[in-house]
């Protein structure tokens, strides 16, 4: 052991969650092992047991403060599936509005606050400067754009869900609060501006793609399987079927979320509290897949909205389909940002969005088992609950978004670590001058 | 211009919602950020744990600790923050009361580990991860029982307005005191004399948007919960679950709720018991870790 070297990054920064990175090197400078150590967990699957099932949608958002809407909705859908309840159409539209608003603010947060510092301030910049606070200070226009985009999404989640962080209004059978005409009118007005900001964000992203073409196409290219939701081939985040694409780019599965156990396995590694979800029929590690924006953009035929679809076709023209370039996740995120704002606009224009018929009044708890599946910003999210005759939860199984990506992250980190430590590939990369000196 | 204050924001086991709430100040951040010199905030800034460890003791003006101690690494970070910060803030309900993960205290750690890593339906050949892993604490307790805090600042999460108010006070050296009022004091709904003969579950029936939810028979915990949030949930016809914890001075939130219900409800104890088959889940949400019940369990465990 003494002749080996271990590089430890503790903690991994600019991400939501608790992670460390361990790179183990042999004495002759070869990368032996790369670990993404997720160092905390809270056991929601256990402490939801014994609760009233209708309260689970209040508890579950606490799994993630950045993406509480998908947890709120996957949870309520799981209860509705177990109790055989179908909410009114207007309630489903309100939920779609909320999840798209969250997708919008989360993708903006990820792009501007978590990822952009690497591209705007530069990957080799002083850590003291490589953050969104610097961007806000040094590039006030970009900073303001970022804050406005995020604010729009969060405000809209609040308007539908009551709270932006840990929303509360979805309940088995519908929504506890209708969307008022007054609120609808405010957001119909605001969405015009938001659409404009979105297009400005697209321009900024395109500049980043052009500037960083070399690392995007050369660094951390990691072939894996991909998983994501679709509706008749369109990219979808609230309700649909799940597709699996193999590393060669062929769709190998297309299944309803209810049968997820046949296709999804959890590998428990010895060095992470987050399990590695993988494509079960192929096994682990062969069946390692990734979820999140790029995975969704890989598995779908097209985007659900026109401007987003143009953007997807542009990415496919340049990088093809299936895309394994890890940095293209950021690009895909921006394509989804466009779909989110277009979906939001369409939903706001739909007269049914202000319907007061948003909740059933005769929902009966019952014994059953239900699956709720949505796409969280970081990937496919599944809640599976078992309830007894009184509607109390007796068992829970959950597959959360990030866990679909842990093994894929390790795989792409292994590629990158070899490139950096063994081949010094990063030294030869063509990089632009940072936008901030 | 005011001298920027050195601030550190540390995340123990949590959902990071408190961080999102701070970020949700959005354009107001433009005014707040210049007053801060961020010396540690992994969610946003690239400083590492060793940077924090290398700082002189008490060299940080304001330390905010979010999350609770579910792992041994959390305990290390909490103690480190206490050493390095002059003013330490218990940021959010996890930090103040243990948070929603405190509900896990109903079981032994072994049972929690088994459920997740060994017995989950989708897990095959499970194990308890150990390599490079910090290990877990036996139960979740409020951070305030592990180190001394200067400012309690509850909320799940505290609203952006709460956060601005607290930060502004701390930055200008003014005291920050928690309000004595309850969620009911902030709630716009019309209240009448209470005489509840039957409790409804959250999904049942139709809620009258103008009337008090508790009067309508829904278990809305606003009457026993500190009024900081602006009654966000009842305003949108959703019962308060008490996620900000009790008003100052009340030691056990759930016990307070149960004793008050006895007076509010026109029901005999057996009926009440039947209406709430899950008292812990119903009367504690983010503060079971701070309850007498949880402490008794901890004590029994120690004696074993």
pLDDT for the residue B282: 97
Which residue's structure tokens are 């307790």? B141
Q: Is residue A34 part of a domain?
A: no
> What's the average model confidence in pLDDT over B226-240?
98
pLDDT for the residue A437: 72
Q: What is the pLDDT of residues B43-59, one digit of tens each?
A: 999 999 999 999 999 99
Contacts of A426-429 with CB under 8 Å at 24 or more apart are: A426/A219, A429/A214, A429/A215, A429/A218, A429/A219
Nearest CB to B129 within list A137, A163, A270: A270
- Cβ contact, residue pair B99, A62, below 8 Å: yes
Q: Is residue A134 part of a domain?
A: yes
> What's the average model confidence in pLDDT over A158-186?
98
> What's the average model confidence in pLDDT over A248-256?
98
**Angle between the N-to-C axes of helices A328-349 and A89-109, in degrees from 0 to 180, rounded to the nearest 10:** 150
Number of domains in chain A: 1
CATH number of the domain encompassing residue A402: 1.10.645.10
| pLDDT band (50, 70, 90) for residue A124 | confident
Q: Please say if the pLDDT value at position B251 is more than 60.
A: yes
A contacts of B46 (beta carbons < 8 Å) = 13-14, 127-128, 130-131
Q: What is the pLDDT of residues B133-143, one digit of tens each?
A: 999 999 999 99
% of chain A with per-residue pLDDT over 70:
99
Q: Please say if the pLDDT value at position A35 is more than 90.
A: yes
- As a whole number of angstroms, the distance between CA B97 and CA B93 comes to 5
Q: Is residue A268 part of a domain?
A: yes
Q: What is the pLDDT of residues A38-57, one digit of tens each?
A: 999 999 999 999 999 999 99
Report the SS3 class of residue A72: helix
- Cβ contact, residue pair B44, A132, below 8 Å: yes
- Cβ contact, residue pair A154, B26, below 8 Å: yes
Q: What is the pLDDT of residues A277-324, one digit of tens each?
A: 999 999 999 999 999 999 999 999 999 999 999 999 999 999 999 999
- Cβ contact, residue pair B129, A273, below 8 Å: yes
User: For residue A133, what is the nearest residue in chain B, using CA coordinates?
Assistant: B33
Q: Is residue A30 part of a domain?
A: no
> What's the average model confidence in pLDDT over A156-173?
98
Q: What is the pLDDT of residues A89-113, one digit of tens each?
A: 999 999 999 999 999 999 999 999 9
pLDDT for the residue B3: 79
- As a whole number of angstroms, the distance between CA A17 and CA A400 comes to 13
Report the SS3 class of residue A317: helix
Q: Please say if the pLDDT value at position A2 is more than 80.
A: no
Q: Please say if the pLDDT value at position B242 is more than 70.
A: yes
Is-above-0.95 flag for pTM?
Answer: yes
Neighbours of A174 (CB within 10 A): 27
Q: Is residue A88 part of a domain?
A: yes
Verify cis geometry, omega within 30 degrees of 0, for the bond prior to B258: no
- Cβ contact, residue pair B233, A148, below 8 Å: no
Which residue's structure tokens are 């709904």? B189
Mean of the per-residue pLDDT values for chain A?
96
| pLDDT band (50, 70, 90) for residue A4 | confident
What residue ranges define each of the domains in chain B, with the CATH number in brackets?
Answer: 5-102+131-172 (3.40.50.700), 183-296 (no CATH)
pLDDT for the residue B2: 60
B266 CA: distance to closest CA in chain A (Å): 23
Half-sphere exposure of A55 (CA within 13 A, CB side): 28
pLDDT for the residue A181: 98
| Interface predicted TM-score (ipTM) of this complex, two decimals | 0.98
The answer to whether the CB of A273 falls within 8 A of the CB of A41 is yes
pLDDT for the residue B193: 83
| Residue ranges making up the domain that contains A150 | 44-428
User: For residue B69, what is the nearest residue in chain A, using CA coordinates?
Assistant: A40
């Amino acid at each position: 052991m003494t002749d080996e070297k271990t590089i430890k990054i503790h903690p991994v920064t600019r991400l939501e969650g608790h992670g460390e990175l361990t790179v183990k090197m042999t004495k002759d400078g070869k990368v032996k092992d790369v670990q993404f150590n997720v160092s905390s967990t809270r056991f929601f699957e256990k402490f939801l047991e014994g609760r009233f099932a209708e309260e689970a949608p209040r508890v579950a958002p606490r799994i993630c403060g950045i993406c509480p809407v998908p947890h709120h909705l996957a949870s309520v859908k799981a209860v509705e599936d177990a109790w055989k309840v179908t909410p009114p159409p207007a309630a489903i539209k309100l939920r779609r509005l909320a999840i798209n608003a969250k997708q919008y603010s989360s993708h903006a947060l990820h792009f501007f606050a978590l990822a952009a510092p690497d591209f705007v301030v530069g990957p080799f910049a002083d850590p003291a400067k490589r953050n969104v606070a610097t961007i806000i200070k040094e590039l006030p226009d970009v900073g303001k754009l970022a804050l406005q985009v995020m604010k729009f999404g969060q405000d809209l989640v609040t308007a539908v869900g009551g709270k932006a962080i840990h929303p509360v209004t979805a309940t088995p059978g519908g929504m506890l609060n209708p969307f008022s005409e007054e609120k609808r009118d405010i957001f119909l007005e605001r969405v015009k501006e938001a659409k404009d900001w979105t297009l400005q964000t697209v321009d900024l992203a395109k500049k980043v793609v052009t500037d960083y073409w070399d690392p995007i196409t050369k660094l951390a290219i990691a072939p894996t399987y991909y998983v994501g939701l679709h509706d008749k081939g369109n990219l979808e985040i609230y309700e649909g079927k799940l597709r699996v694409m193999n590393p060669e780019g062929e769709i190998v599965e297309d299944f309803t979320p209810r049968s997820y156990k046949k296709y999804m396995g959890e590998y428990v590694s010895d060095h992470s509290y987050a399990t590695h979800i993988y494509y079960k029929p192929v096994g682990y590690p062969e069946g390692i897949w990734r979820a999140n924006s790029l995975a969704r953009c890989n598995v779908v035929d097209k985007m659900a909205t026109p401007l987003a679809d143009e953007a997807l076709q542009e990415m496919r023209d340049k990088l093809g389909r299936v895309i394994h370039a890890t940095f293209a996740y950021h690009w895909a995120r921006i394509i989804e940002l466009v779909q989110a704002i277009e979906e939001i606009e369409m939903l706001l224009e739909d007269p049914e969005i202000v319907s007061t018929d948003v909740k059933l009044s005769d929902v009966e708890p019952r014994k059953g088992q239900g699956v709720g599946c949505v796409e969280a910003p970081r990937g496919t999210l599944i809640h599976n609950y078992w309830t007894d005759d009184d509607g109390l939860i007796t068992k829970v199984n959950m597959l959360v978004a990030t866990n679909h990506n842990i093994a894929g992250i390790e795989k792409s980190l292994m590629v990158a670590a070899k490139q950096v430590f063994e081949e010094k590939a990063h030294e030869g990369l063509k990089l632009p001058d940072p936008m901030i000196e | 211009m005011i001298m920027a204050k050195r601030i550190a924001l540390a995340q123990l086991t949590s959902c990071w919602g408190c961080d999102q709430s701070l970020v949700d100040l959005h354009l107001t951040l433009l005014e707040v950020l210049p007053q801060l010199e961020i010396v540690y905030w992994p969610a946003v800034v690239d400083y590492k744990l060793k940077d924090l460890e290398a700082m002189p003791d008490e060299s940080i003006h304001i330390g905010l600790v979010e999350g609770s101690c579910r792992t041994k690494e959390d305990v290390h970070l909490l103690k480190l923050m206490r050493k390095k910060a002059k003013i330490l803030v218990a940021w959010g309900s996890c930090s103040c009361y243990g948070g929603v993960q405190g509900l896990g205290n109903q079981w032994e750690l072994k049972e929690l580990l088994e459920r997740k890593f060994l017995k989950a339906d989708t897990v095959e050949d499970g194990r308890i991860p150990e390599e490079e892993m910090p290990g877990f604490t036996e139960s979740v307790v409020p951070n305030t029982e592990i180190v001394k805090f200067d400012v309690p600042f509850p909320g799940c999460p505290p609203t952006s307005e709460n956060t601005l108010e607290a930060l502004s006070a701390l930055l200008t050296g003014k005291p920050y005191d928690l309000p004595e009022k309850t969620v009911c004091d902030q709630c716009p709904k019309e209240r009448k004399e209470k005489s509840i003969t039957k409790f409804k579950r959250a999904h049942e029936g139709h809620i009258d948007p103008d009337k008090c939810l508790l009067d309508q028979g829904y278990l809305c915990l606003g009457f026993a919960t500190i009024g900081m949030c602006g009654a966000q949930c009842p305003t949108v016809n959703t019962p308060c679950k008490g996620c900000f914890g009790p008003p100052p001075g009340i030691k056990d939130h759930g016990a307070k709720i149960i004793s008050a219900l006895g007076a509010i409800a026109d029901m005999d104890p057996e009926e009440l018991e039947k209406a709430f088959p899950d008292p812990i889940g119903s009367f504690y949400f983010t503060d079971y870790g701070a309850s007498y019940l949880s402490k008794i369990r901890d004590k029994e465990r120690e004696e074993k």
